[in-house]
Amino acid sequence: MNTTSHTATPLFTTPDTVTRKMGKFTLRYRPYTLTLKHVFTIAAGSRSTTPVVLVELEYDGVAGYGEASMPPYLGESHESVLAFLNRVDLTAFSDPFLTEDILTYIDSLAMKNTAAKASIDIALHDLLGKLMGQSLHRIWGYNPKTTPDTTLTIGIDTPEIVRQKVREADSFKILKVKLGLDTDKLMIETIREVTDKPLCVDANQGWKKREEALEMAHWLAERGVIFLEQPMPKEQVDDNAWLTAHSPIPTVGDEAVQRLSDIRSAHGVYSGINIKLMKCTGLREAHKMAELARALDMKVMLGCMTETSCAISAAAQLSPVVDWADLDGALLISNDVYQGMTVERGKVVLPDRPGIGIAFC
């Protein structure tokens, strides 16, 4: 175990960094704003930035790193995450390996705040891997050679920009297309002018009528779409189940499947689930979600928000055991502060470093 006194990195010595000593732990965190390379448009709206909070958790001279990313639909903000982290008190814990105790306590602090909880969870898992000198995927016994290809997301845009985005994604083997507006067919037809690669689509709850959704599913299947993510509002449970039963391609629940407790109710409604660390409070629960979905014979997709390579590399540790990956969040931003998981010829490549495998840029 490393007993050398840890000095916070320059990333955590800024004027807006909060530093709190709590027994054997020191927690540091600061707000940060990610800048997107392109304006990102989905059925619910457009944005060019995403607020995040960066976290450092130190124990015995070793530091783990985490992150909370807050896209609009999570209902979190810099203020809400900082307020949550200000409530965290790890003084009662002296052993970082008691993850169930620590993370159960973290989860008990509020009903929601899942991204804030994920920032602690990721930092703790990164810390444990470093204390053990092993990457998380090795600790879990996963084979890094079995990682899937990851999609690159093409947001809703003008035909000219869509063509540009598709050309920029030349090294990727599969693309994810945002739909859910009245331009859906134009989006797919524009992409098909440039490439015949397999596609998956995410309607982000944008379709409202099941008959029209089924018609679109058949139309999309004929154009090389391999699965359909969150086609209709999550509240339309019966409609989504009907669509899944009749669709020529699998359906995946995203907004409808936030945490472990949502999976059983999603069974039979969707063909699979999309696991995201920011929805489910982090790696501990994500790991359990993947195992339960497998036990129920459901497909497993591993997704992300707009994030730095910290949260992306953390999620990637689970990628060897999923069917599909959508881990492009760090590739969509222009101001990443870490390096970690990479993509080579479209395939997720796990870094050979302890913990979640990140280093500073």
- In the predicted model, what is the mean pLDDT of the chain? 95
| Structure confidence at residue 206 (pLDDT) | 95
Q: What CA–CA distance (Å, rounded) separates 97 from 75?
A: 31
Fold of domain 10-133: Enolase-like; domain 1 (3.30.390)
Indicate the domain borders of the chain. 10-133, 138-360
Provide, for the chain, the percentages of residues in helix, strand and coil under a 3-state DSSP scheme, each rounded to the nearest 5.
35, 25, 40
| Structure confidence at residue 43 (pLDDT) | 66
The pLDDT of 227-251, averaged and rounded, is 98
| Structure confidence at residue 265 (pLDDT) | 97
| Structure confidence at residue 47 (pLDDT) | 79
Please enumerate, as own/partner, the contacts of 238-246 that have beta carbons within 8 Å and a separation of 24 or more: 239/209, 239/210, 239/213, 240/210, 240/269, 240/270, 241/268, 241/269, 242/210, 243/210, 243/213, 243/214, 243/217, 244/268, 244/269, 244/270, 244/271, 246/214
Residue 319's Cα: distance from chain center in Å? 11
DSSP 10: G
Q: Is residue 210 pLDDT above 50, yes or no?
A: yes
Q: Is residue 1 pLDDT above 70, yes or no?
A: no
Q: Is residue 2 pLDDT above 50, yes or no?
A: no
Q: Which residue has the higher pLDDT, 225 or 155?
A: 225
Tokens of 184: 């859906």
The pLDDT of 171-182, averaged and rounded, is 96
pLDDT per position as a tens digit, 188-205: 999 999 999 999 999 999
Q: What CA–CA distance (Å, rounded) separates 132 from 193?
A: 50
| Structure confidence at residue 268 (pLDDT) | 97
Q: Is residue 41 pLDDT above 80, yes or no?
A: no
DSSP 248: S
* Number of CB atoms found within 10 A of residue 275's CB: 28
Which is nearest to 316 in space by CA: 282, 343, 344, 341? 341
Q: CB within 8 A of 77, min separation 6: which ones?
A: 51, 70
pLDDT per position as a tens digit, 308-347: 999 999 999 999 999 999 999 999 999 999 999 999 999 9
The CA-based angle 222-228-231, given to 5 degrees, is 120
* Number of CB atoms found within 10 A of residue 82's CB: 17
Q: What CA–CA distance (Å, rounded) separates 112 from 26?
A: 24
* Number of CB atoms found within 10 A of residue 129's CB: 22
Tell the residue number behind the tokens 């619910």, with chain if given: 44
Q: What CA–CA distance (Å, rounded) separates 302 from 312?
A: 10
Q: What CA–CA distance (Å, rounded) separates 232 from 229?
A: 9
| Structure confidence at residue 3 (pLDDT) | 37
Q: Which of 37-51, 113-127, 243-257, 296-310 has the lowest mean pLDDT?
A: 37-51
Q: What CA–CA distance (Å, rounded) separates 358 from 309?
A: 7
Confidence of residue 44 (pLDDT cuts 50, 70, 90): low
At 239, the amino acid letter reads D
Which is nearest to 259 in space by CA: 228, 294, 284? 284
The pLDDT of 87-110, averaged and rounded, is 98
**Burial bucket for residue 132 (CB in 10 Å: 0-12, 13-18, 19+):** middle
pLDDT per position as a tens digit, 52-62: 999 999 999 99
The pLDDT of 141-156, averaged and rounded, is 96
- Superfamily of structural domain 138-360: Enolase-like C-terminal domain (3.20.20.120)
Q: Is residue 39 pLDDT above 90, yes or no?
A: no
